[in-house]
Amino acid sequence: MKRKVYISAIGSEIIEEDTPIPVSRENRKLMRFARTSGKLFINSLYEAMKMADNDSPELNDNYRRGVFFGDFLNLATDKEHRDELFEHCKNSSECFDEKEFLYYIINNWSAVEVLKEVPNIPCFLAAQLTESNGPSATFLNSCASGLSAVKAGYELIQSGQIDIAYVGAGSAKADELEKKVFNSMGYFIDGDYKILNAGAALILESEERLRSRCGNALAEIVSAEENYAPDMCMYKRFDDLSFEKLMYAMDIPDNKKIAYILGSFSKKYVSEEREAIKKILPDVSVLSGIKETAGYSFSASGILEVTEYLRKGELRSGLVVSSLGYGGYQSALYISPVS
């Protein structure tokens, strides 16, 4: 039988401007190895762990714990390191010299700098922080990565393979070059979402584990699904058929009061998404979410919508959050008040 899965704690961090990401004294050592997205995830996870304040390691010894992380950019070298690298290369040769670049890194950088390049390191750091002993994984599913991480944790708890899942995502604000690449495709230009540095995390627990520590739940996960939108991948257009399939797979009842937060990564697709969800769930109340008010955060966007909605107060009705990402990756999460 499938086990019930609850969200017991949340954490998030949004940094709108180019200010350094705060690092707490407790996590300073850990954070040396984290790139921007990892720092944002770990700060969010740390906040969630504090929220679940009776989450003691002694109690955890009896339970299997996993970590699942969603990231967007796998080349997000910290800017200060790139500045150093590029300045050196500019001073030593007329044009870009790959060999010069390579040997500068080999001769001048330490493990701290090079490890930031490795996509799964934030996941390792989070596993270390949470003393996790079970599986862990990093998902690079474009903007759907965060909710894919939630789905992975949810399914493993549901099937009894783990009892606790620390799930989250982090996303570094696009740098100048990436912005230009996005802009060349018509995304994130005037009128589209503003791009944020943001991270978000959830602690998911089985009912049994939550009861054993007399913890409170913020919401119950009813379903989590993902699928692929080939039309978005190949033709850069909203994929009605895949969206419909995703929503039907979620098993959302049409007779209950449900809020739906729009998940398209660009405003270009919002009206089609709104129409599509109204066709499937006519009574749903459609919300724009934090991407409209604060900005968009790629892989963290889905989880961030959940954390910011739950921060507003007690969940009184069902909530569906989707992430319809660049490249065709799609995921969605349906949560409800604790029964």
Partner 1 sequence: MEKAVITGMGIISPLGNDTESFFNNLISGKSGISAIRKEAFSNFPGGEAELNNDEWKAFFGISESMSLPKLTEFALFSLYKAMLNAGLTAEKLKEHRTAVILGGASSFPEITDVYKSEYASRYEGTVDPERYMSFSKFHDGFNAAASVAGVLQLRGAVETVSNACASSAFAIGKATELIRSGKYDIVIAGGADSGININTISLFSVLNVMSSDKDTVHSCRPFSKSRKGCVIGEGAGILIIESSSSAAERNIEPLAEITGCASVTDTSHITSPDMTGGSYTKAMSGALESAVCPQKDIDYINAHGTGTYYNDLLETIAIKSVFAEKSKSIPVSSIKAQTGHILSASGVIECIASVMALQKGILPPTMHLDEKDEECDLDYIPDAPRKKNINTVMSNSFGFGGQNTSLILMKG
Q: φ, ψ for residue 261 (rounded to 5)?
A: -100, 125
- In the block, which residue shows the tokens 């390792």? 124
Size of the site for partner 1 (CB under 8 A): 72
Tell me which of 38, 66, 263, 295 binds partner 1, using CB under 8 A: 66
**Shortest distance (Å) from residue 17 CB to partner 1:** 21
Tell me which of 13, 205, 220, 226 binds partner 1, using CB under 8 A: 226
338 binds partner 1, rule: CB under 8 A? no
Nearer to partner 1 by Cβ, of 136 and 171: the residue is 136
Report the sign of the C-alpha dihedral through residues 184, 187, 191, 193, in that order. Answer: negative
Tell me which of 15, 42, 67, 247 binds partner 1, using CB under 8 A: 67
Contact range with partner 1 by CB under 8 A, out of 108-116, 267-275, 282-290, 313-321: 108-116
Helical spans, DSSP H, in the chain: 28-31, 36-51, 57-60, 79-92, 98-108, 111-115, 121-130, 145-158, 176-184, 207-212, 230-235, 240-249, 270-280, 290-293, 301-311
Contact range with partner 1 by CB under 8 A, out of 38-46, 127-135, 253-261, 277-285: 127-135
Contact range with partner 1 by CB under 8 A, out of 48-56, 95-103, 272-280, 282-290: 95-103
**Of 246, 240, 306, 305, nearest in space to 269 by CA:** 240
| Direct distance between the N- and C-terminal alpha carbons of the chain, in angstroms, rounded to an integer | 18
114 binds partner 1, rule: CB under 8 A? yes
**Shortest distance (Å) from residue 166 CB to partner 1:** 11
Report the sign of the C-alpha dihedral through residues 187, 191, 196, 202, in that order. Answer: negative
**Shortest distance (Å) from residue 287 CB to partner 1:** 26
Q: Which of residues 162-221 bind partner 1 (CB under 8 A)?
A: 176-178, 180-182, 184-185
Nearer to partner 1 by Cβ, of 215 and 325: the residue is 325
CA dist 182 and 185 (Å) reads 5
Tell me which of 6, 41, 46, 124 binds partner 1, using CB under 8 A: 124
Task: Give 163: exposed, middle or buried? Use CB within 10 Å, 0-12, 13-18, 19+.
Answer: buried
**Shortest distance (Å) from residue 315 CB to partner 1:** 26
Q: Which of residues 128-147 bind partner 1 (CB under 8 A)?
A: 128, 131-142
25 binds partner 1, rule: CB under 8 A? no
Contact range with partner 1 by CB under 8 A, out of 126-134, 215-223, 263-271, 278-286: 126-134
- In the block, which residue shows the tokens 């010299």? 97
Tokens found for residue 310: 């739950």
279 binds partner 1, rule: CB under 8 A? no
Nearer to partner 1 by Cβ, of 72 and 309: the residue is 72
63 binds partner 1, rule: CB under 8 A? no
CA dist 74 and 139 (Å) reads 10
80 binds partner 1, rule: CB under 8 A? no
Q: Which of residues 235-264 bind partner 1 (CB under 8 A)?
A: 241-242, 245
Counting every residue written for the chain, the total comes to 339
Element (H, E) at 319: strand 318-324
Report the sign of the C-alpha dihedral through residues 291, 289, 72, 172, in that order. Answer: positive
**Shortest distance (Å) from residue 95 CB to partner 1:** 8
Q: Mutual orientation of helices 98-108 and 79-92 as an angle, nearest 10°?
A: 120
